[in-house]
Chains A and B, each alone.
Chain A
Amino acid sequence: MIAFDSVSKTYTSLFRPPVRAVEEFTLTIGRGEIMGLAGPNGAGKSTLISLLLGYLPPTAGRVTIADTAPRPYIERNGIGYLSELVTLNPQWTLEGTLERLAVLAGLPAEVARQRVEAVIEELGIGEHRVKKLKALSKGNLQRLGLAQALLRDEQVLILDEPTHGLDPVWTQRFRDLVQRLRSPDRTMLIASHNLDELERLCDRVAIIDRGRLQRVVDTRRTAGREVAASYYLTVTSGAEHVPAVFPAAAAIGDGQFEVEGGDAPTLNDRLADLIARGALITALVPAHSGLEAQFREAVRSATPDAGGAS
């Protein structure tokens, strides 16, 4: 459905040296798939999204949606898009913004009214409908951004940092919403710094750094598959035995340590040993998710200092 084929983007300026934001990026996102996009700040995520929306031309390579260049596809079909920053006229009211964007999206007047009401209800922003955008909190602005992306039943959704500014309740509701939107005909791309969120929502996650695709993690395979690389271990007594049992343990304080994971039998033997020495364990939590570990490894290997590929 969405294809980046050897895409590169270099920003040029008269007064500054060229900046290579994306290099030789190749990725295909299938119809019905939810793809995550993760990377450190400045990795090239926003550039990739601008390329996908046709707001930037690639310096080399080709971007397509349903085998069509982005702008012709969008002008014919539209896409649901939430930008990282909700940049809309601060003088517009929330309801007026949704109404005008629904009209712009080509919805007939009656349908537009119904859809506006539906998304206002879905995103819980009814009490703010007459407020100007400049008076909305970051979270409500973000919900408005989501609401306008859902005005039409789009086949492609691109969400850039969708939970940025949302409180925990609405973060969870957003996750439920994404699950409801999952459909064999709908393709979603979610860019986020929140790896836990990407791991929960996405089928695959593309990790980029310095404009290059470092790896694509299939989260359906990694979920709950293996012992974590490290854990947070909390004990209420016997803390002095932890370093003897877990040689690489790092004390965090208040009876909490970050300890190495290893394989499952070793981990269990060590825990049994610790209990036998008189420690009382109250919590054992994975320190990093599978995706997070892959992310760290991918980004580390992309750093020239680490001796990996750049």
Chain B
Amino acid sequence: MWSYLAWQARDFVTERGAPLLIVATLMTFPIIVGLRQIRDTASPVQGATSARYAIIQLFAEFSLIAVLIGINGVVSSDRVKGYYRFLFSKPVSIPRYYAQAYAVNGVGLVVTAAGVLGAIYAIGYPLFLSRALLMVGLFYVSLGGMGFLFSTLARFDWVLMGATWGVAQLLRALYPAEQSRGGQVLDVILPPFHQLRDVGLQLARGEAADSTTLLWLLGWGVSSFLLGLIILRRRALAT
């Protein structure tokens, strides 16, 4: 199964590489243009501060979109298209196959993000903000874990993901945690993705992130991922 890693990495590149490249180019290009101007005009101290701010803001948006591209259909696509029929007649554990695919896609996203940082460093501003990769990692583990779970459950996992995000936002707005006991309960039950951006920004800036919130986010992602594996073990692939 380990030797199949190379094929899964190739699948990541061929199936998700193009959309990631397009998104990365569209989002990064304006930043690079701005950073070149800063490089040419601002003082080194001012320039580094501005560049750091621009890169972190870029990654706050890019991480979200990249994770959605990286996780979408990780399980459901094989089920919908029927590829599983051939793949799993081989001596392969279905949960292990998809756990490995999840890991490969995560590594692929971090490598892609590093490529974006490298491009900024090479042609934008000579600053490689490696901590921004922590933000991508956090987004992938927390949001990607939930995406993995939804992909084991439904054909249109991205719809389910969007709906969950939207419903959580709506319920939090209707029943704020600070105003009622019910709101506090809801706040604990609902996925904590409203905190994702803030904690991600803290990690990218090198600030001390609130450990409870960080663990809450990671816990949701890891628990969702593990639940997805249990579902893969127990639930039939055909419908």
A76–B82 touching, CB < 8 Å: no
A-B interface contact total, Cβ < 8 Å: 73
A83–B86 touching, CB < 8 Å: yes
- Residues in chain B near residue A86, CB distance under 8 A: 86
Q: CB-nearest residue of chain B relative to A57?
A: B236
- Residues in chain A near residue B88, CB distance under 8 A: 53, 55, 74
- Residues in chain B near residue A101, CB distance under 8 A: 86-87, 90
B86–A87 touching, CB < 8 Å: yes
A110 → chain B closest CB, angstroms? 12
B86–A77 touching, CB < 8 Å: no
A78 → chain B closest CB, angstroms? 4
A148 → chain B closest CB, angstroms? 7
B91 in complex: contacting residue of A74, A85, A149, CB < 8 Å: A74
B83 in complex: contacting residue of A75, A80, A87, CB < 8 Å: A87
Counting chain A CB atoms within 10 Å of each CB, the highest count among B83, B89, B94, B237 belongs to B89
A53–B91 touching, CB < 8 Å: no
A237 to B21, CA, bound (A): 77
B92 in complex: contacting residue of A80, A89, A104, CB < 8 Å: A104
Binary contact track B54-91/A, C-beta < 8 Å → 1, others 0: 00000000000000000000000000011111111111
A55 in complex: contacting residue of B14, B84, B92, CB < 8 Å: B84
Interface flag for B211 (CB, 8 Å):
no
A105 to B91, CA, bound (A): 6
A87–B89 touching, CB < 8 Å: no
Binary contact track B148-183/A, C-beta < 8 Å → 1, others 0: 000000000000000000000000000000000000
B4–A100 touching, CB < 8 Å: yes
With an 8 Å Cβ cutoff, the count of chain A residues facing the other chain is: 33
A106 in complex: contacting residue of B87, B91, B238, CB < 8 Å: B91
A223 to B90, CA, bound (A): 35
Interface flag for B93 (CB, 8 Å):
yes
Interface flag for B3 (CB, 8 Å):
yes
A81–B85 touching, CB < 8 Å: yes
A250 → chain B closest CB, angstroms? 44
A55–B85 touching, CB < 8 Å: yes
Q: Which of B185-239 contact A (CB under 8 A)?
A: 236-238
B4–A55 touching, CB < 8 Å: no
A76–B85 touching, CB < 8 Å: no
B83–A103 touching, CB < 8 Å: no
A60 to B84, CA, bound (A): 24
Q: CB-nearest residue of chain A relative to B84?
A: A55
Q: Which of A44-97 contact B (CB under 8 A)?
A: 50, 53-57, 71, 74-81, 83, 85-89, 91
Interface flag for A264 (CB, 8 Å):
no
B239 → chain A closest CB, angstroms? 8
A148 to B87, CA, bound (A): 10
B3–A103 touching, CB < 8 Å: yes
A76–B91 touching, CB < 8 Å: yes
- Residues in chain A near residue B237, CB distance under 8 A: 55
- Residues in chain A near residue B86, CB distance under 8 A: 81, 83, 86-88, 101, 145, 148
Identify 13 new A-B residue pairs, CB closer than 8 A, beyond the known A75-B93, A81-B86, A105-B91.
Answer: A53-B88, A55-B88, A55-B238, A75-B92, A76-B91, A79-B89, A81-B89, A83-B85, A87-B85, A87-B86, A88-B83, A104-B4, A104-B90
Enumerate chain B interface residues (CB-CB to A < 8 A): 1, 3-4, 7, 14, 81-94, 236-238
- 12 intermolecular pairs with C-beta atoms under 8 Å apart: A53-B88, A74-B91, A78-B90, A78-B91, A78-B92, A81-B85, A87-B83, A89-B81, A100-B4, A101-B86, A104-B7, A145-B86
